[in-house]
């Protein structure tokens, strides 16, 4: 991880860095279909996955901190944390339950909504994804017809009968999941490139070539992110079952109807759908486990509003008005509930700004820390 964009900048600020593979990722007991199935029957696997949310990750961090600082003087046992996206969610859990371990916290696009069910999250996000679709079709109006032609092709030749290099199937619903890239810098252009290539294939050859299939496959890589796919909705749950929230709420937004006859076809965003556990080769292997997790209402707290209201740990956050994954309004509600939280906001950056606009974002975060904005 020494090549992460902010590494040298943070080192130059006088910090030492420790990058963690959170449990279930990287080299930290990675969770795949094969490793999960080693745990036992489906109910055991589902129970095991409950140990991979922010509450457990923070406990890991505290154990590591205490081990590393065992011989440190008391004044130097605390550490600073930096979290991007879900890393920011973990930071809020840390502030809630183990603030004694923290000197300061930096959050980038990670001011999680302080909600106990994902439904309100997805109501907000569907609206933002619709806006990003509108922006896409304004930039590439010719893609309105191209996307329709591709969708008609997929439907005409049997929705789901086209195999991808990963052994998954290319359905219309999977194709429109390309919209997850709308929330990144350069995402509109990246999707346009795929649409243009696929459209040219169909026009010239009457089928999608290997290059187009690989492009779609690589851009919808949920097979390599099993934890993300199964636990994406439960990261918003406390005492409530997610019950495929994004799937349930989609009917409230007719613009996303795949079979509508008027207007452009809308892509979806970061949402997870039960159909993905049919369309993706790796996810198929854990479909029954995913159903068990989706119906489970027994989820522990991930934040403590009372503790956050009396927080004494300095918190510096970046929040983006155009964030397609973490709603800006809900993020600002969270910021107001964390005592002493300072926020840099902008409407000219997207969720991945810590990567795409690293110099400016980190500069603003440290300006908050150093109190030099005035």
Residue 240 DSSP SS3:
coil
pLDDT of residue 159: 76
Predicted confidence (pLDDT) per residue in 283-305, tens digit: 999 999 999 999 999 999 999 99
Q: Please say if 351 is a catalytic residue.
A: yes
Residue that the structure tokens 């990246």 belong to: 190
Strands 169-170 and 162-163: antiparallel
Residue that the structure tokens 């550490």 belong to: 79
Tally of CB atoms within 10 A around 85: 18
Cα separation, 32 vs 29, in Å, equals 9
Tell me what the mean pLDDT of segment 187-213 comes to: 97
Q: Which strand (E) or helix (H) includes residue 316?
A: strand 315-320
Q: Is the pLDDT of residue 372 over 90?
A: no
Residue of 223, 296, 323, 327 marked active site: 323
Residue 367 DSSP SS3:
helix
Tell me what the mean pLDDT of segment 345-371 comes to: 94
Cα separation, 41 vs 168, in Å, equals 24
CB 293 within 8 A of CB 46: yes
Confidence class for position 2, pLDDT limits 50, 70, 90: low
Among 336, 112, 108, which Cα is nearest to 232's?
112
Predicted confidence (pLDDT) per residue in 45-65, tens digit: 999 999 999 999 999 999 999
CB 111 within 8 A of CB 233: no
Q: Is the pLDDT of residue 75 over 80?
A: yes
pLDDT of residue 5: 79
Q: Is the pLDDT of residue 1 over 80?
A: no
Backbone angles phi, psi at 254, to 5 degrees: -60, -20
Residue 357 DSSP SS3:
coil
Q: Is the pLDDT of residue 373 over 60?
A: no
Q: Tell me the whole-structure pTM to 2 decimals.
A: 0.95
Tell me what the mean pLDDT of segment 315-336 comes to: 98
Tell me what the mean pLDDT of segment 1-6 comes to: 68
Predicted confidence (pLDDT) per residue in 149-169, tens digit: 999 999 998 777 899 999 999
Among 254, 247, 248, 272, which Cα is nearest to 325's?
272
Cα separation, 53 vs 368, in Å, equals 29
- Maximal CA-CA distance, the chain: 70
Residue of 91, 166, 232, 351 marked active site: 351
Residue of 85, 91, 166, 319 marked active site: 85
Question: For the stretch 191-222, what's the b/e string if a residue is b when 16 or more beta carbons lie within 10 angstroms of its beta carbon?
Answer: bbebbeebbebbeeeeebeeebbebbbebbeb
What's the mean per-residue pLDDT of the chain? 95
Residues near 177 by beta carbon (within 8 Å), at least 6 away in sequence: 220, 267, 268, 276
Predicted confidence (pLDDT) per residue in 202-251, tens digit: 999 999 999 999 999 999 989 999 999 999 999 999 999 999 999 999 99
Confidence class for position 6, pLDDT limits 50, 70, 90: confident
Q: Is the pLDDT of residue 139 over 80?
A: yes
Q: Which of 118-127, 151-160, 253-262 has the highest mean pLDDT?
A: 118-127
Q: Please say if 166 is a catalytic residue.
A: no
């Amino acid at each position: 991880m020494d090549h992460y964009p902010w590494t040298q900048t943070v080192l130059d600020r006088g910090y030492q860095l420790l990058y963690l593979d959170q449990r279930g990722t990287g080299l930290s007991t990675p969770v795949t279909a094969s490793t999960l199935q080693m745990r036992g029957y489906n109910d055991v696997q589902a129970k095991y996955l409950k140990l991979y949310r922010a509450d457990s990750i923070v406990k890991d961090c505290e154990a590591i901190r205490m081990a590393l600082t065992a011989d440190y003087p008391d004044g130097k046992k605390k550490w600073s944390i930096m979290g991007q996206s879900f890393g920011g969610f973990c930071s809020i859990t840390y502030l809630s339950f183990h603030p004694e371990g923290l000197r300061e916290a930096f959050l980038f696009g990670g001011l999680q909504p302080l909600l106990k069910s994902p439904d309100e999250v997805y109501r907000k996000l569907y609206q933002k994804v619709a806006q990003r679709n509108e922006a896409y079709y304004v930039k590439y109006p010719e893609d309105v017809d191209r996307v329709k032609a591709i969708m008609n092709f997929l439907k005409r030749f049997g929705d789901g009968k086209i195999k991808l290099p990963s052994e998954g199937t290319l359905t219309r619903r999977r194709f429109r999941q390309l919209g997850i890239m709308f929330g990144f810098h350069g995402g509109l252009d990246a999707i346009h490139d795929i649409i243009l290539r696929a459209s040219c294939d169909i026009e010239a050859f009457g089928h999608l070539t290997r290059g187009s299939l690989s492009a779609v496959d690589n851009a919808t890589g949920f097979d390599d992110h099993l934890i993300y796919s199964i636990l994406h909705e439960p990261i918003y749950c406390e005492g409530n079952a997610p019950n495929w929230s994004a799937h349930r709420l989609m009917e409230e937004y007719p613009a996303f109807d795949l079979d509508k006859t008027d207007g452009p076809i809308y892509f979806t965003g970061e949402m997870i759908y039960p159909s993905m556990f049919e369309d993706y080769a790796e996810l198929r292997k854990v479909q029954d486990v995913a159903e068990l997790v989706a119906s489970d209402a027994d989820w522990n707290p991930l934040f403590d509003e009372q503790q956050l209201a009396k927080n004494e740990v300095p918190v510096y956050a970046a929040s983006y008005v155009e964030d397609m994954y973490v709603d800006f309004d809900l993020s600002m509600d969270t910021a107001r509930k964390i005592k002493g939280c300072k926020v840099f906001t902008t409407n000219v950056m997207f969720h991945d700004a810590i990567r795409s606009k690293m110099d400016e974002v980190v500069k603003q975060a440290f300006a908050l820390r150093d109190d030099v904005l005035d």
